[in-house]
Amino acid sequence: MRAIARDLGAALGVGGHLTALRRTRIGNYSLDDAVTLGDEPPTLMTMADAARLSFPVVDVTREEAADIGFGRPLTRGVPSRPTGMIAPTARCWLCTSRRRPARGRLRS
């Protein structure tokens, strides 16, 4: 937005700038997700909730969560890279592997 104002002002030969700029959304995060800082610490969202707002997620079983924790391959596919993997306990991992799964398996 700043660059548009600058470029428009330059094109008109008058200069251009913004007097105010307010970001109301970043990706899937909106002002409704913002916290107000005050005397008491704010209640923050969990890592699992942040993952769900940031990229596709796969809810994994307890057994799959144990496999992820030990670095074992998973037999299920994932929707994209990166993908969040969220255990029933709300523990969260991020799969960023760019390698294709061997024989339909995904390495965590």
pLDDT in tens, 11-45: 999 988 888 888 888 888 888 888 888 888 888 88
Summarised one tens digit per residue, pLDDT across range 38-58 is 888 888 888 888 888 888 888
Whole-angstrom Cα distance, residue 101 to residue 51? 22
Task: Please determine, for residue 72, whether its predicted confidence score (pLDDT) is greater than 80.
Answer: yes
The pair of structure tokens assigned to 85 is 């993997």
User: 108 pLDDT band (50/70/90 cuts)?
Assistant: very low
Write down the mean pLDDT value for the chain.
Answer: 81
Whole-angstrom Cα distance, residue 93 to residue 84? 6
Backbone angles phi and psi of 58, in degrees to 5 = -125, 125
CB-based contacts of 10-13 (< 8 A; 24+ apart in sequence)? none
Task: Please determine, for residue 105, whether its predicted confidence score (pLDDT) is greater than 80.
Answer: no
Cα separations in angstroms, 105 against 57, 76, 97, 101: 17, 6, 12, 5
Q: In this predicted structure, what is the pLDDT of residue 97?
A: 60
